[in-house]
Amino acid sequence: ADPEPVQDFCVAAPHGSGGPAFPGLPCKPSSSVVSDDFFFAAHARGASTDNAMGSGVTPGNVEAFPGLNTLGVSINRVDLAPGGVNPLHSHPRAAELVHVVVGEMLVGFVSTEGRFYSKVVREGESFVIPRGLMHFQYNVGKSAARAMTVFNSQLPGVVFAAQALFGAEPEIPDAVLAKSFQVDAEIIKLIKSKNRKG
């Protein structure tokens, strides 16, 4: 069988022109590898939650932490202000284990059968999101909340629902979205106005 994809795509480079290896990224020579290559400190601090979602994710994937290359794991830190949400998204390449370190959050996902599974998860407790399914974390407590999220991929990939549908570049035609959601194009334009980058 083919190896599992570890990135969205890997268009073949013209013969002899190099480019990233598949799967994963090229390795540095082992003679130059040092202990710090296996160390990651960025999660000692959280990301700001001072934004429209009230949430901040600090990624710890292979792009941030090169020592993870080919090891099949990665870890994020998720910070949520009271009422903050890490908005609906999915990971095409990984299951996600959500371990709550501070506070309490509603964690939920929707299965391929359209069933919504969710739980209020508190300090020291965990919840698992099966690979590829749409999910969120929502701070239902009165104070800041924090989770560490662990993945069985060095680069899980993330598709934010609202951004993917209403903020894609170039745009998905309004008519396609209006038909898909069974609403007027005006409503699509309104949602698009909130999801454009920049």
**Coil, strand, or helix at residue 148?**
strand
CA–CA gap between residue 78 and residue 100 (Å, rounded) = 9
Report, in angstroms and rounded to the nearest whole number, the Rg of the chain calculated over CA atoms.
19
| Number of residues near ligand GLV (by CB under 6 A) | 7
Chain centre distance of CA 60: 10
Least distance CB 7 / Mn ion (angstroms): 17
Least distance CB 156 / Mn ion (angstroms): 7
Among 86, 90, 153, 154, binds ligand GLV (CB under 6 A): 86
CA–CA gap between residue 64 and residue 42 (Å, rounded) = 9
Least distance CB 106 / ligand GLV (angstroms): 12
Stretch that binds Mn ion, among 47-55, 64-72, 88-96, 171-179 (CB under 5 A): 88-96
By 3-state DSSP, what share of the chain in percent is helix, strand and coil, each rounded to 5? 20, 30, 55
Q: Is 57 in the site for ligand GLV (CB under 6 A)?
A: yes
Q: Which residues bind ligand GLV (CB under 6 A)?
A: 57, 76, 78, 86, 96, 137, 149
Residues near Mn ion (CB under 5 A) = 96
